[in-house]
Amino acid sequence: MRTGVVFFSSLLLLCFLAPFGASQQPNLPGWDLGIEYPQEDEDNPFQLNAAGTTTISFFVANNELLPITVEFSYEIPFEGESDGPESETIGAGNNKTFSLVVMGITVRDIPAETTEEFSIVATLVARGSVPQPIPDSREGTGELQIPTIHSLEAIMSEPVGPMNSGSEMTLTLEIQNMGNVVDRVGSVGVSDNCPLLTTDNGLDSLTTRDIGIGAKVQASLIISASQSHPQRNCDIEVTVTSNGATNSGGSEIANDKVRVSIEPPPANQEDPDDPIDNGGTIDEVVSSNLPSPGILLSICVIFLASLTVRKSDH
């Protein structure tokens, strides 16, 4: 009988201890703060988007027998701002997940792929309804990474005035790198709505030059109007693509356009210094160094008169 009681008691004890085996040890009393990292790897940074924002999920695990109240504080790099909970209560034996929104980071002003550390601090301020006089804090850290921004801006120079049929005009295209990584033009396209207007390939030189962050490059575009081009307003549009964006699977495009007025060639205007040929004859005026006929005649008359006077005296 006594053996049966011992056996039965031992069996009950084993059943009672079974849930507390090595594979199912209970959580120790306490609380903790955790961050949900990308791909569950704390070495992976949180990637900011082009607007300079991202969302970080974190949690507080309360394994105590009483609810706890914690207050949060955040340290954000790159002069960023945070939008997250200030204070939360977590029930006994519960986990609670929160969201922290990071924003206000000007990623275009920071070199691509730069990383800096952020931190989340949770401070226990009360257990149940009892305030905690001794601070008890937990901290979680991670990294924020600046994305790669490919962005080009295209600006065409305005025509100084209209152009005539049969003439040429030179326009300047300026490309500025507005991104945060060295880039270059991948391709250039020029289009217009005037069939008798042609352009050269002067802008192709842009595809051979790297453009530093914030830097500018220029190239000239020569447009030619046919001799028979009618009077018309022509819209010329230039489109460029980012070589860096194309290589990374993107399609960053920049464009600009200007309007050029084509006018007929000016009518032929006579030079006022040239003789006017009106189909008639032009009288020639011949000059001579000889005295005029009137003077010669007067001299002859005086000479003959003097001869006559001399004969009469004899």
Name the CA radius of gyration of the chain, rounded.
Answer: 48
Q: CA 21 from chain center: how many Å?
A: 61
Contacts of 120 (CB under 8 A, 6+ apart): 33, 35, 56, 58, 72, 73, 74, 84, 100, 139, 140, 141
Q: Note if the pTM is more than 0.75.
A: no
Phi, psi (rounded to 5 degrees) for 75: -120, 115
- Whose tokens are 């989340």? That residue is 120
The β-bridge relationship of strands 54-62 and 197-199 is unpaired
Instruction: Give the neighbor-by-neighbor strand order of the sheet with 46-47.
Output: 46-47, 130-145, 115-127, 68-75, 87-90
Say how far apart CA 199 and CA 223 lie, in whole Å.
4
The domain locations on the chain are: 25-145, 152-263
Half-sphere exposure of 285 (CA within 13 A, CB side): 1
Q: Which of 257, 255, 252 is nearest to 108 (CA)?
A: 252
Query: Which region, left, alpha or beta, applies to residue 239 given φ > 0 means left and ψ of -120 to 50 means alpha?
Result: beta
What pLDDT is recorded for position 135?
84
Tell me whether domains 25-145 and 152-263 share a fold. yes
Averaged in consecutive runs of 10 residues, what is the pLDDT profile of the chain (314 residues)?
A: 45 41 56 96 96 98 96 98 97 97 96 97 95 93 97 96 95 97 96 94 95 96 95 96 91 95 76 47 41 54 55 49
The secondary structure element, H or E, covering residue 180 is none
Task: Confirm or reject CATH 1.10.4160.10 for domain 25-145, answering yes or no.
Answer: no
Three-class SS state of 190: strand
What pLDDT is recorded for position 23?
42
CATH fold for the domain made of 152-263 = Immunoglobulin-like (2.60.40)
Distances in whole angstroms, Cα of residue 67 to Cα of each of 29, 88, 122, 205: 12, 10, 15, 69
Distances in whole angstroms, Cα of residue 17 to Cα of each of 3, 6, 66: 21, 16, 25
What pLDDT is recorded for position 165?
95
DSSP assignment, residue 183? Answer: B
